Amino acid sequence: MTTPAPGLHSHVLAALGLAITAGEYPPGTVLRTDELAQRFDVSRTVVREVVRVLESMRLVESRRRVGVTVQPTPSWNVYDPQVIRWRLAGADRPRQLRSLTVLRSAVEPVAAGLAALHATPEQCRDLTERALGMVATSRGRQLDAYLVHDVAFHRIVLEASGNEMFARLGDVVAEVLTGRTHHHVMFEDPDPAAVTLHVQVAEAVRERDADRAEALTREIAVGALRELDVLAP
């Protein structure tokens, strides 16, 4: 779940990134590198490297004679997978989950439509396989096994779309699905209707029916949003 990644750098980065995204340091707070070095018991070198990374994520801004200033949320690089993970781990997971799900609802239908046009035979096969896997694990509290198939399914669709930007949302979708499963923003067993829809999407892609693939995926998205409304109002 959490990136293990050894090394002092990663440790401090994770600690600071998490703290900032969690709102522990409100925007405008200034941190001084020396102070941070002391706090984490590392050299200033390490802190500086961390700050530079945080700066590239626009979580902070470093200015001479002032220090490292925490930036307001609107300037954060919210598409950075690292930032997404930190935020999902923190206090505003609900809001985060919602805005990411809305993003999915916009992107995935279009991606599915393109996938119907571009998917390779192998991708079609994998997709069907995953859909069947979802069916097989959709009953009897097998949420974890189900999740694996679900994530794989959506990854394949995004990948098969042939669009680089869509493909790179695979990780984001994985985070969302994992997050909502592990935090019970989901029914005990997956919605049977959703499972069926996945099977049908695989079918539509196999049959190169772009419009149907798009429409069906849109239904999945609508369902996910509704579920979110019910369980995390």
Partner DNA sequence: TGTGACATAAAAGTCGTACTTTTAATTCCT
Partner DNA sequence: AGGAATTAAAAGTACGACTTTTATGTCACA
Residues that bind a copy of itself (CB under 8 A): 9, 45, 48-50, 52-53, 55-57, 73-74, 77-82, 95, 99-100, 102-103, 105-107, 109-111, 114, 163-168
Instruction: Decide: is 120 part of the binding site for DNA (CB under 7 A).
Output: no
**Restricting to residues 35-64, which ones interact with DNA according to CB under 7 A?**
41-46, 48-49, 51, 62-64
Q: In 10 A of CB 205, how many CB atoms?
A: 30
**Restricting to residues 144-183, which ones interact with DNA according to CB under 7 A?**
none
Give the separation between CA 61 and CA 9, rounded to whole angstroms: 18
Rg of the chain over Cα atoms, rounded to whole angstroms, equals 20
Instruction: Decide: is 5 part of the binding site for DNA (CB under 7 A).
Output: no
Instruction: Decide: is 32 part of the binding site for DNA (CB under 7 A).
Output: yes
For 162-168, the CB contacts below 8 A with 24+ separation are 162/114, 162/115, 162/117, 162/118, 163/111, 163/114, 166/107, 166/110, 166/111, 166/114
The span of 15-23, 32-40, 154-162, 206-214 binding DNA (CB under 7 A) equals 32-40
Question: In whole angstroms, how close is the CB of 29 to DNA at the nearest point?
Answer: 12
Q: In 10 A of CB 228, how many CB atoms?
A: 18
Residues that bind DNA (CB under 7 A): 7-9, 31-34, 41-46, 48-49, 51, 62-68
